[in-house]
Amino acid sequence: MGKLVEGVWQDVWYETKSNGGKFVREDAGFRDWIRNEPGAKFQPESGRYHLYVSLACPWAHRTLIFRKLKGLEEHIDVTVVCPDMMSEGWQMGLPEPLFGHTRMHQIYTQAKPDYTGRVTVPVLWDKKHNTIVSNESSEIIRMFNSEFNELTGNNIDYYPQSERDGIDEWNAFVYPNVNNGVYRCGFATTQSAYEEAYNHLFDSLDKLDSHLSRSRYLAGSKITEADWRLFTTLIRFDAVYVGHFKCNKKRIADYPNLNGYMKELYQVPGIKETTDFYHIKRHYYFSHTGINPTQVVPKGPKLDLESPHGRGSI
C-alpha cells in the first residue's frame, strides 16, 4: 500500500500494533469542493476536472457510478489505474494524460510536494489550478450529484433535502460496519480484532436484510446516495470479501433481500459497465501479499447478477 512522508514514498503497510491488531483508516487529505456559485475557487466547467480511479476500489467505484448516472462522462475525463498495487502503490499502465506520471503518488506530490499520508483513489484533479480538489469519495459524489446540474441538465437528486436525515443515518451505519467493516476483518492482525469486526459486520448485514424486507431501498421508495454507497461493498462481497477477507459466515447470495436489492441496483442502466470483476479480483488477491502470499487469483465464484431480482412487490 505505502504512503508519502513529507513527499517521499515509503512502502509500508498499515500499522495495527498500537490499536490491538485493529485496522484504522486514515482520513482523506484533500477536502475542497466544487461549488456552482459566484466566487467559488472550484466551479463546475466542462473539461476542467480529471478523475483518477481504480476499478477495483469500492470508494472509487462510487464516483464512477455518479459520473455515469449524472451524465458527466463527456465533461469529466478519467484515468484508470492498474489493478496491481505493489511496492510503489497505485500505478498506471500508460503515462497518465496530464503530466505523464506513472504512479499515483506522483499526482499527490504534483499537488503538494511535501504531502504526508496514504495515496488513495479516487482523486479529483483541477486542471485550472493544477491541484487535487478532493480525494474523499463521499464528498466527490455529492459534488457530482448537484454542482454540475446546470451544465448537464440532469436534475436527478440522490441526496434530496426531504430525505437527508434518513440518508445520513444510513450512511453513518453502513460506513463503519459494512463499507469499512470488511476491511476491519481482512486487515485485522489479531484474532480478537478480527472476531469483533466479523461480529459487527454480520450483525449489520442481518439488520440490513431485515430492513430491506420492508423497504424497497435504504431510505424509502427511491434510490439514494445511501444505496450506492452500500452497493459497491455488496457487489464485491461474494467475489472477494467472503474468502480473501475471511467474511465467511454468509454470502450476499444467502441473504434473500440484500441479494435481490444488490441485483436490482446492478441492473440499473449503466451500472454494469462501471463494475469490473477482473480488476476487483486481481487487485485484492494479487496485491495483498500479506494475506495471499501465493498471489493466486481464484477463477470463481459464478455470480448470478442479471436474473430477475423480485424487488417490485416491496
- Sign of the torsion angle spanned by Cα atoms 201, 267, 54, 118: negative
User: Minimal CA–CA distance to 245: which of 178, 176, 305, 171?
Assistant: 178
Assess whether 82 carries a catalytic annotation.
Answer: no
Q: Which amino acid is at 30?
A: F
Contacts of 11 (CB under 8 A, 6+ apart): 2, 87, 88, 89
- Choosing from 57, 82, 185, 247, the catalytic residue is 57
Phi, psi values for residue 64, rounded to 5°: -65, -40
Q: C-alpha cell of 115?
A: 504531502
User: Minimal CA–CA distance to 137: which of 149, 120, 155?
Assistant: 120
Assess whether 183 carries a catalytic annotation.
Answer: yes
77-80 and 49-53 as β-strands: parallel, antiparallel, unpaired?
parallel
Task: List, in sequence order, every beta strand (DSSP E) within the chain.
Answer: 3-5, 8-10, 49-53, 77-80, 117-118, 123-126, 131-134
Burial class (CB in 10 A: 0-12, 13-18, 19+), 174: buried
Strand arrangement, sheet containing 8-10: 8-10, 3-5, 117-118
Residue numbers annotated as active site = 57, 183
